[in-house]
Structure 1
């Protein structure tokens, strides 16, 4: 009689413990990756004034840096996420990290506006890190029949790392520059950090199981790229027009560009429905547990990405006008810092409570907090404590959703499409931020000059911004109520 002797048999609990240890280690490395991602997002902002002087440009030109990175991120995230499903998420994550590192080193040596704009835009490859990490964690946990619950908790921890890195980056940048007095030397810090994290990904992150699909819908990629390029380009142009108060003829050009972009995206949808290997599977996107998640990502992008500029300018508006807080740059940084801390609190709360309450209920509650926080701005905005309280409430909701949405999308996606689904939440969130940023820029510019201080926006403009953000949060909560009650829960693997 042959076979494995009893003494050599592996106990099931040992297998589970080993798998859990591997996954916990994986999450730990991803937290390191997200800390570096946060450093990238927080490090450069305090240095913008010095970058402007170094490059010999105007303050207004900084807006083009944001627009360039926004365009690139909207284009590359769905494509790279799809490639992750096809060829392995680690492979594409490592590629994105290397490209980000090269762009970060390019910024160190950039000596003109155009070279800096090029490398700054290319640095936007980091936006695909989080969706690919979520896909890797989900695929790892799926083998243990706990992919959904594990991914929810892990996503909250990743957001904690992201926001902690942003705070560290923002605090460290000014101090490093003050100590060295050399902008190029200071910009080496994030470049070194991304280079090191590329090595971490290469050595310590295991590969996922590719879907086996090896055909990429090239024409779909082209249509998606052009559609997003036209729409986000129109939105960036729209924001610039609002700031510069250009003529009506320019508005007609923006409208034509936007309509053309929408038309290309509609063409893209019909093309994907007919293709056997679509870039974005529209049938999966139309599922009742998927489309409300993607719509929520768009709506939350309005407040998360679009409202930060108006909040900063409101905090700096002279309170003698009857509104505004009259804070200087240092005091405004404290306000933004508190908001980032509230995002961390929201992410932690989501990670802690995700196993105790329904995932669907957690998403709805977080969206309600976003709506409530911004709705409170409408009657309460004249005192610093009121603004801080409102921001904290909205920030807790946003912090929970930043981690929850990619995890929810991955849970709703079939095997082989987790990267695509989680990446799409980032794309829709980015487009929501671009749309709101453009609209808010126009709304606030329309009110400028109607008050005593010619550069200040009117109170009505700020109230409109807050009302839109509040409506976005409440609408997201309503849409999430349409999700089936059993959605986003762990289910036994097929077969």
Structure 2
């Protein structure tokens, strides 16, 4: 197969007379793998978008408060934060396709558990297991980067392929949200399990796609998984995560909550010292400390506040009845699915256009612009949240930036990392994002539960407070602005393919075009 990895033209070798060289950045150079990974991310999108319009229905089905919906996200994000670094490193060691297959099986098990769970706690366990899907995108981008790495345009090709599979993810979110909205209105009540079976069927199908169609990494790095580092990091993340969950249970006055968080943060010190002594660490902190990588990881954490922590509150705000509480949209599940669809269409556009914007400017500048869009979108909620059109417009602005960041951050991490650390670097963007989402989810749950939650008639209500929603939107906006400022620390030509490419784009800067920027 001439387009496959290993063919001469894929390595940038001369094409024989009469042959045809594909254009720089053509996804055909990667063979058919992008198409199969599109199927995987389409399913990932279904999983991510399907449940959002149904959160209020699920809360009523389980007999819980709207604010308790955040428990699902918090527990899933905690598992993701712990599992993704280990699974990503395992991908570098044994192969990305193999780990992708394993995690698809676990996600399918969790999805079927969600569909059939009879109680809050069984639902919580099943939902948590589904969190293993969060390693799919880092593994896929690592696989793409490895197959493209010998091409002179490897970084641009990785960005373009990342944009395509993230666009598929967003399309899956749209499809999932629309289908959930339709089925949620028609199959509610005792038949909600039928509605919740749809994503389980999708994940089961994609398991066989990975099993039969996705090829393994062309050159597995080998090595071992740093068990000591995995234990220390898992203990630190578990302590912090449980502390944040406890923050919801007993509030900020509980001393044990802060003790657990302090213990978790303190464990990062022996973890760092241990990792620096290892020849093959779980997390190479020297690589993380590169000026082209650490701002990307911090940005990913700040981005997690909005992209993961704010989605539940947006759904429950839209479902809140303004006639009863004086705020909210009083939207049906189908209307919420349309709002989510608008957000995701904008995210899809942001994912597809990021590579082109990066070519015309620089990848760093495109990242800064994306974070500013996220910040602007959420800050607009503060004055404009009384009508469906206002909420949709705000979500579209934030969605443009969010889609670009979902595609760009793992690709940027892959470009900044050594070959044998590709999956770990891309996985760290996911880990920091889930940590940011976990923290935000805990804080937002407290914010929504605070203040008056009575109806206009004086009855006790189950909706979150308006003051809490204001806190959510303000925090998301401010973290976006902070991320934009941090990205200015990244060298100007970081993540560009070559100095020649940068010069051709009119972006050469002798002060910052250093070898390490293109390593």
TM-score class normalised by the smaller sequence: 0.7 to 0.9
1:313-324 matches, cutoff 5 A: 313-317=316-320, 319=322, 324=327
The Cα offsets for residues 57-109 of structure 1, whole Å up to 9 and x where unpaired, read as: 53566544333322211111111101111111111111111222233344455
Distance 1:159 1:262, change over 3 A: same
Shift of 1:263: 1.1
RMSD (Å) for aligned C-alpha atoms: 3.1
Q: 1:438 aligns with which of 435, 438, 442?
A: 442
Q: Which moved more, 1:20-29 or 1:472-481?
A: 20-29
Is the contact between residue 86 and residue 210 of structure 1 (CA under 8 Å) also seen in structure 2?
Answer: no
Measured against aligned partners, the alpha-carbon deviations of 1:361-398 in whole angstroms (never above 9, x if no partner) come to 11011111112222333343444433322222111111
Alignment of 1:342-381 (within 5 A): 342-381=346-385
Deviation at 1:293, TM superposition (A): 0.2
Match of 1:94 in 2: 101
2:297 equivalent in structure 1: 294
Deviation at 1:201, TM superposition (A): 1.6
Moved more, 78-87 or 389-398: 389-398
2:86–2:225 Cα contact (<8 Å) kept: no
Structure-1 residue corresponding to 2:248: 239
Structure 1 unpaired stretches of 5+: 1-8
What's 2:409 paired with?
A: 405
In 1: Cα distance, 2:87 partner to 2:181 partner: 33
Q: 115, 127, 130: which is aligned to 1:120? A: 127
Structure 2: distance between partners of 1:440 and 1:39: 25
Q: Which residue of 2 aligns with 1:470?
A: 477
* 1:11 equivalent in alignment to 2:20: no
Alignment counterpart, residue 479 of structure 1, candidates 473, 476, 486: 486
Q: Give the structure-2-normalised TM-score.
A: 0.83
Q: Give SS of 2:420's match.
A: coil
- C-alpha separation between the residues in 1 aligned to 2:100 and 2:162? 16
Whether 1:448 aligns to 2:452 is: yes
Structure-2 residue corresponding to 1:4: none
Contact conserved, 1:137 with 1:147, CA < 8 A, in 2?
A: no
Partner of 1:6: none
Question: Aligned partners of 1:13 and 1:322: how far apart in 2?
Answer: 72
Say whether residues 1:199 and 2:201 are aligned partners. no
Q: Does 2:134 align with 1:145?
A: no
Correspondence for 2:84 = 77
3-state SS of the aligned residue for 1:417? helix
Moved more, 57-66 or 280-289: 57-66
Aligned equivalent of 2:10? none
Counterpart of 2:284 (choices 258, 277, 281) is: 281
Shift of 1:203: 2.3
* Compared CA separation, residues 386 and 119, structure 1 to 2 (3 A): closer
Aligned to 1:489: 496
Deviations 1:166-187 (Å, cap 9, x if unpaired)? 2212222454574798555544
Superposition TM-score, scaled by structure 1 size = 0.87
Corresponding residue pairs, total: 480
CA 207–106 in structure 1, closer or farther in 2 if over 3 Å, else same: same
In 1, Cα distance between equivalents of 2:45 and 2:88: 20
Structure with the bigger percentage of helix: 1
Query: Unaligned regions of 5+ residues in structure 2, if any?
Result: 1-13, 500-514
Does the 8 Å CA contact 2:223/2:280 hold for their aligned counterparts?
Answer: no
